[in-house]
């Protein structure tokens, strides 16, 4: 009987010793995929278990982590990065390591170079984004034609600086932003845009003359290729939609004569194309 009791006690001590020296296991968490500029939390739930339960953590690399010495740091990598965590059991000095990869989608956006234009002038912007994105330009004061393309036409009647965002939506819920600054300088120059597409989509639906509002006494006449007058307007306010007597004119080239009734500005002649 005594031997049996000794044997049982020995077994209990062995079990207790085994429980105290259980190996540390480390879980750096599952691999993750994030959008550019986004963050994710590393580590498992929990990151370490077993052993004494008293650990230190050391994550590498450290430059994109909120705190490399905690169990679950926040990572904000700019490119796909492999992270390793080393866990040390303070009681036994045992160390274990595990790794995790954070994949960063290779999406990017660029709104182009800052530039300067004249009041009333139209320029084409040149954004850059992968083909699987949808884009939208957001100006502060100016206006766009083809606002949801990478190469829209931009104009502004407001002197000053327009800070414009290029917003790009990508798959996987990623949204990126580009930024361009357009400086608009004062000008009384008239800018004639030689084509428009009056299809009712709200963009480029009329014949535009930049800065025409600076000449409120103007008169505009439009002629077809046979010399027939199809429009007379005093003042013209950028509102001709390519119609004559309420009917749509056919696509083609038309000819304008603009009299500003201003001694310095004078008269202008040129062509404008209706595109349908």
Domains of the chain by start residue, with CATH: 22-104 (2.60.40.10), 115-185 (2.60.40.10), 191-274 (2.60.40)
Q: Which of 155, 263, 272, 261 lies closest to 210, judged by CA?
A: 155
Phi and psi dihedrals of 195, rounded to 5?
A: -155, 155
- What's the CA gap between 243 and 252, in Å, rounded? 13
9 pLDDT exceeds 60?
no
- What's the CA gap between 137 and 131, in Å, rounded? 16
Q: How far apart, in Å, are the Cα atoms of 257 and each of 86, 98, 221, 226, 246? A: 79, 77, 5, 15, 21
Phi and psi dihedrals of 26, rounded to 5?
A: -125, 135
61 pLDDT exceeds 80?
yes
6 pLDDT exceeds 80?
no
Predicted pLDDT at 16: 46
| Average pLDDT, rounded, for the chain | 91
Helix (H, G, I), strand (E, B) or coil at 63: coil
60 pLDDT exceeds 60?
yes
What is the β-pairing status of strands 32-34 and 95-104?
Answer: parallel
Dihedral sign computed on CA atoms, order 67, 68, 71, 72: positive
Phi and psi dihedrals of 111, rounded to 5?
A: -90, 0
pLDDT tier, 3 (very low <50, low <70, confident <90, very high otherwise): very low
pLDDT tier, 22 (very low <50, low <70, confident <90, very high otherwise): confident
Q: At which residue do the structure tokens 């917003």 appear?
A: 167
Phi and psi dihedrals of 8, rounded to 5?
A: -65, -45
pLDDT digit string, tens, across residues 73-130 = 999 999 999 999 999 999 999 999 999 999 999 999 999 999 999 999 999 999 999 8
For residues 169-188, average pLDDT: 96
20 pLDDT exceeds 50?
no
Q: In terms of pLDDT, which residue wins out, 113 or 19?
A: 113
**DSSP secondary structure string for all residues of 97-126:** EEEEEEEE-----B----EEEETT-EEE--
pLDDT tier, 36 (very low <50, low <70, confident <90, very high otherwise): very high
pLDDT digit string, tens, across residues 196-247 = 999 887 778 899 999 999 999 999 999 999 999 999 999 999 999 999 999 9
H-only helix segments in 192-238: none
Predicted pLDDT at 34: 98
For residues 152-161, average pLDDT: 92
Least confident of 7-21, 195-209, 242-256: 7-21
- Is-contact 99 65, C-beta < 8 A? no
Q: How far apart, in Å, are the Cα atoms of 166 and each of 11, 51, 112, 139, 184? A: 71, 53, 10, 9, 19
178 CB contacts (<8 Å, ≥6 apart)?
109, 110, 111, 112, 127, 128, 129, 165, 166, 168
255 pLDDT exceeds 70?
yes
Claim: this prediction has a pTM higher than 0.75: no
Predicted pLDDT at 2: 45
37 CB contacts (<8 Å, ≥6 apart)?
76, 78, 176
8 pLDDT exceeds 70?
no
- Is-contact 125 117, C-beta < 8 A? no
Q: In the chain, pLDDT over 70 holds for what percent of residues?
A: 92
Predicted pLDDT at 17: 42
Q: Report the largest interatomic distance among the alpha carbons of the chain, rounded to a whole angstrom.
A: 127
pLDDT tier, 14 (very low <50, low <70, confident <90, very high otherwise): very low
What is the β-pairing status of strands 247-248 and 252-259?
Answer: unpaired
Predicted pLDDT at 130: 87
35 pLDDT exceeds 70?
yes
């Amino acid at each position: 009987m005594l031997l049996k009791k000794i044997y049982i006690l020995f077994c209990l001590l062995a079990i207790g010793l085994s429980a105290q020296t259980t190996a540390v296991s480390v879980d750096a968490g599952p691999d993750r995929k994030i959008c550019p500029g986004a963050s994710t939390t590393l580590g498992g739930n929990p990151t370490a278990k077993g052993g004494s339960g008293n650990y230190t953590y050391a994550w590498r690399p450290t430059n994109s982590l909120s705190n490399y010495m905690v169990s679950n740091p926040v990572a904000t990598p700019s490119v796909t990065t492999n992270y390793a965590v080393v866990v040390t059991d303070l009681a036994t000095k045992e160390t274990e390591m595990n790794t995790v990869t954070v994949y960063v989608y290779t999406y990017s956006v660029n709104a182009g170079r800052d530039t300067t234009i004249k009041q009333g002038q139209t320029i084409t912007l040149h954004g850059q984004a992968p083909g699987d994105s949808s884009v939208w330009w957001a100006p502060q004061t100016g206006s766009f034609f083809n606002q949801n393309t990478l190469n829209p036409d931009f104009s502004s009647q407001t002197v000053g600086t327009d800070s414009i965002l290029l917003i790009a939506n990508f798959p996987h819920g990623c949204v990126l932003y580009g930024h361009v600054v357009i400086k608009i300088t004062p000008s009384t120059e008239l800018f004639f845009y030689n084509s428009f597409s009056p299809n009712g989509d709200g963009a480029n639906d009329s014949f535009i003359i930049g800065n025409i509002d600076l000449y409120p006494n103007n008169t505009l006449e439009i002629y077809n290729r046979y010399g027939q007058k199809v429009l007379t307007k005093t003042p013209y306010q950028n509102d001709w939609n390519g119609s004559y007597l309420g009917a749509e004119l056919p696509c083609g080239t038309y000819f304008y004569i603009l009299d500003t009734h201003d001694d310095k500005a004078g008269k202008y002649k040129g062509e404008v194309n209706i595109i349908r």
